[in-house]
Amino acid sequence: MTDTDAGNASQAHRDVTRTRLATPLTQYGIVLLTVVLVVSPLLPILYQSFIAQPLYRDDLDFTLSNYARLFVSRAFYDILWVTFLFSAGIAVVSTAMGALMAVLTVRTDMPGRGWIGTIFTIPIYTSSLVLAFAWITVYGPGGYLTATWANVLGLPAWDLYGLWGMILIGSTAYAAIPYFYCTSALTMADPSHEQAAQICGAGRMRTLWRITLPLLRPALSYSLLINFVAGIETLSIPLILGEPRGVRTFSTFLYTEIGKTEPQYGLVACASMLVLVFMALLIMLQRRVLGDARRFVTVQGKAQAPKRLRLGPLRWPLATLCWIWVTVLVVLPLAGLLARSAVQVLTPYISPLTVLTWDNYVQIFEVDTYARSIWNSLLIAGVGGFFAACLSLGIVLVAERSDNPLRRPLRFLSLFPQAVPGVIVGVGLLWAFVLVPGLDIFRSTVIGLMIAFTMRYIPLAVGAIAPSLGAIGPELDRAARTSGATWIGTVRRILVPLVAPGFLGAYILLFLSFLREYTSAVFLYVPGTEVIGTTLLSLWVQGKSGPVAALAVIQIVLVTAVVLISRRLLGVKMYG
Amino acid sequence: MRRTLLITCLSSLSPVAFGAAWAQDNAIPDYYPEDYDQIVAAAAEEDDLVVYGNIAREAWQPVIDHCSARFPEMPEIQTLDLGATEVFERYYTETAGGADSADFMLSIDPGGWLRFIQQDGVLPYQSPELEHLPDWSYYEPGLYMYSADPTTIAYSKVQFSEGENPTGVADLAAKVEADPAAYQGNLSTYSLPEYLTVWWPFINSHTPEGGSWEESEAWPWIETLGPSTQPLSSSGPMVEGIMTGQYAAAYLTSSGNPRRAVATAAGEQLLGYNFIDDGTPIWLRGIAIPQESGSPNAAKLLLDCILSSGGQIAVAEGDYTAYRPDVAGEAKWHLQSVLDEVGEENALFVSYDDVYLDQETLDAFVARWNEAMGR
């Protein structure tokens, strides 16, 4: 054996070792990355909840007094109660709205149902922050219609601010979720059930009540839970509509407490821990409900177009009511926002045509801090969204298609961020970046925000990829493995090409979510890493509603462009 | 300095020479220390200058443009618009962990600054511009003022016809008393505890000789105005609300936003404002270099530049109020014209007083105010 041969042999041995190690290294790498990502915002909060001083001090004392003080604090119970009312209100109203609209558009012959349904779901594509601004522009205390109504016509005005306004806007913002669940449940359910009922002599309403609605039960209960959770974690609506009237939810409590002089970090951390536990319980309940859902969905029959319920003489009155409904809740506010972005002031006292201006848009693009927030958002959505999609794909592959012993904990971990409100992610990561030496580099660049957003939306992406991977028969992997391919080889050659459309869908979902995300960014951004949402909030606080409207319109245009392009060119359908 | 500039440019006939002389003369005036060019040279080597403050980027822009032109060596200036107290809280959190934080700070909160000085947060620095500034604008060891901004009453021209507009808090209270039905929830003002700096001097200015703030003659006015008032923590929404018809007037509000509003065609038709004839609190907006500043030399350039004549003119371009005496005729907005209009006796300078550290008194004051407001 010559020296070269020996060299080749040891080289070959190294190659074999490397390939043998590649699989576990990749798998455990993905597990470790997920653990770090999910746990790093939570540890500092847990830690802070047990120490008396702000966690950045040197002289720290272990204590349980934070929890003790929280439990006897009257204000905390008030906040919990308001949060409950708000979230329950959103859950009930939005689910009722979504279900009713779904029944009308899917199961009846109401004219214009396609358009009505589309307009009804627009708010899910704009952020709730933008929707809140739009509503205030039109229906707020100084809103165009309010002012016309009260000051010009002299009629008693309504007050959009406060709990009821918050519930109404929140429900409008989240009604698309129950709508999508109910539409898909209604489309899949076998219409022969309804026909059978009618043959047995049941009237239209009775059929609706006894057959159609019970079939919607899983969709309804799932929507109730999802929107209840959304109500707990939403920041924009309570911040913009609740704070001026002293209506404070958990999210706004966290937001204002940390912004004030000598914040009570211990209390903030304890309250966060309690909410985390509560949210985790809710999410577990949600899983059980979803598990049940399969039982109902299997009621699908032959491919057969459902026969629509004939509304008869009610057709046009109902259609008119629905048009008024979507016009008042969705079209007018968005039209008001668009109008506000193009004038100096929107008021019934002077004709908007005399004060037309491009200044609001010019200001957004000329002031570099504002313009930069648009580029940053696009960068975070484009690049950060891609990495998040890759990580999610890795998670799904390890969790669903490997024999890694940690695959079940990994699946649980990847869904856990659903239980973590955005404000907590922001505060937790801020503390982590500041406390751990060397991590500050993440905070001074957009990478920190990418990490926060990825943590927030991993469950969404995992949820989008998992079904398309599930659709690929496991015998394909087995065939590859039997032919001698490693796990990595199988993944690369078989699974990834087949799951590509699901991956693309997840990427687009992440792109849209990242473009609109701001709750986890409000504590985390520094000069240079502003995003659209943080700029919107900061402009709003200064009362610059013109530039706010202009930037909101820009965000809507960007989101719409992405949605249309992905639908037309790539055939990817978002939601439902 | 202006005069030397004039002579310099007359003596140099070619435009190129004029430009060069201008830049040189403006960059380092002769009353600056000999070694000032070392600060300039060191600044050129430093990272971006990060400013934490509570004013908007547009207001900073003229100052940044002016100072970057005067010192081309200045690194890029980044601004972050935060709440007045958040400026300090963020700095404390960040520096405690050794993270990057503000290189330069601006805040309107005297309590925040006093605590910051107590904790040795301010980098000691003697600006060469100090001799050109009023005594009240400097606090040891390095706290200076950006601007001296008067408060105002802003009102809707739709609601108040010419000559009928409110001139002061007492005047507005009298109008409300005369016609309560016309004022239902359509007044606004700054809220407490955020804006102690407005309310403390105003209430105290109406305290009888030798009495305490509890006996102030202003309380009955607040009690009259309270039920119609929605206090807010920012003046931008007050001004916008006046223009859209939500509010008839906002008392003890800022001057910056009304100034910007009336500069537009819509604002000119819809909104008016004036100083407050029974007491105009004047804010002093503090600026200083923090000890942990990562770009201390660039921060010194910015500080000196803001305090210079040119810097003060730029401050006024951003609709804040210049106070340096030698630019009284030139700055777009200047403290002198405020004093001329309201009279020295009605100008209530918001001093950096220890009362802003006395939490017990402040809590009692806020409680009394809430009671008067009917909150």
Beta bridge partners of B320: none
Sign (positive or negative) of CA dihedral A445, A447, A450, A454: negative
Chain A residues close to B234, C-beta within 8 Å: 541-543
Distance CA A28, CA A526 (A): 33
- Among A303, A322, A356, which residue terminates a domain? A356
B249: helix, strand or coil: strand
ipTM above threshold 0.90: no
CATH number of the domain residue A570 falls in:
1.10.3720.10
- Regarding whether A389 and A341 lie in a shared domain, the answer is no
Residue of B nearest to A157 (CA): B246
With a CB cutoff of 8 Å and minimum separation 6, the contacts of B38 are none
- Regarding whether A538 and A427 lie in a shared domain, the answer is yes
- Regarding whether A136 and A179 lie in a shared domain, the answer is yes
Question: Would you call B266 an interface residue with chain A, using a CB distance cutoff of 8 Å?
Answer: yes
- Regarding whether A526 and A436 lie in a shared domain, the answer is yes
Residue B97 is nearest to which of A56, A347, A526, comparing CB atoms?
Answer: A56
A179, A134 Cβ separation under 8 angstroms: no
Q: Please count the structural domains in chain A.
A: 2
Which parts of chain B register pLDDT below 50?
A: 1-25
Neighbouring CB atoms inside 10 A of A449's CB total 30
Inside any domain, residue A32 = no
Question: Would you call B96 an interface residue with chain A, using a CB distance cutoff of 8 Å?
Answer: yes
- Regarding whether A288 and A387 lie in a shared domain, the answer is no
Distance CA A49, CA A66 (A): 7
- CB spacing of B98 vs A437 below 8 angstroms: yes
Residues in B 164-203 with any Cβ partner in A closer than 8 A: none
B278, B135 Cβ separation under 8 angstroms: no
Helix (H) or strand (E) holding B202: helix B196-205
Helix (H) or strand (E) holding B30: none
Sign (positive or negative) of CA dihedral A258, A264, A266, A269: negative
Residue ranges making up the domain that contains A523: 358-576
- Among A312, A334, A356, which residue terminates a domain? A356
A40: helix, strand or coil: coil
Distance CA A252, CA B268 (A): 36
A354, A150 Cβ separation under 8 angstroms: no
Give the closest-approach CA distance of A383 to chain B in angstroms.
Answer: 24
Give the closest-approach CA distance of B179 to chain A in angstroms.
Answer: 17
Question: Which of these, A133, A558, A555, A550, lies nearest to A363 by C-alpha position?
Answer: A550
Cα A304 to the chain's mean position, in Å? 34
CA angle A211, A212, A214 (to 5 degrees): 70
- Among A329, A356, A383, which residue terminates a domain? A356
- CB spacing of A141 vs B246 below 8 angstroms: yes
- CB spacing of A261 vs B85 below 8 angstroms: yes
DSSP B56: -
- CB spacing of A355 vs B265 below 8 angstroms: yes
Residue of A nearest to B80 (CA): A527
Beta bridge partners of B347: B280
Structural domains in chain B plus CATH codes: 31-147+283-337 (3.40.190.10), 152-274+344-373 (3.40.190.10)
Which parts of chain A register pLDDT below 50?
A: 1-2, 293-303, 576
Distance CA B154, CA B249 (A): 6
Give the closest-approach CA distance of A527 to chain B in angstroms.
Answer: 5
A294: helix, strand or coil: helix
Strands B347-349 and B280-288: parallel
Residue type, position B116, single letter: F
Give the closest-approach CA distance of A134 to chain B in angstroms.
Answer: 15
- Regarding whether A362 and A457 lie in a shared domain, the answer is yes
pLDDT digits (tens, 9 = 90+) for A28-59: 999 999 999 999 999 999 999 998 888 777 77
Give the closest-approach CA distance of A293 to chain B in angstroms.
Answer: 47
- Regarding whether A374 and A272 lie in a shared domain, the answer is no
Residue A87's pLDDT is: 95
pLDDT digits (tens, 9 = 90+) for B1-21: 343 443 333 333 333 333 333
Among A51, A350, A526, A536, most B C-beta atoms within 10 A, so best to mutate, is A526
Among B93, B188, B191, most A C-beta atoms within 10 A, so best to mutate, is B93
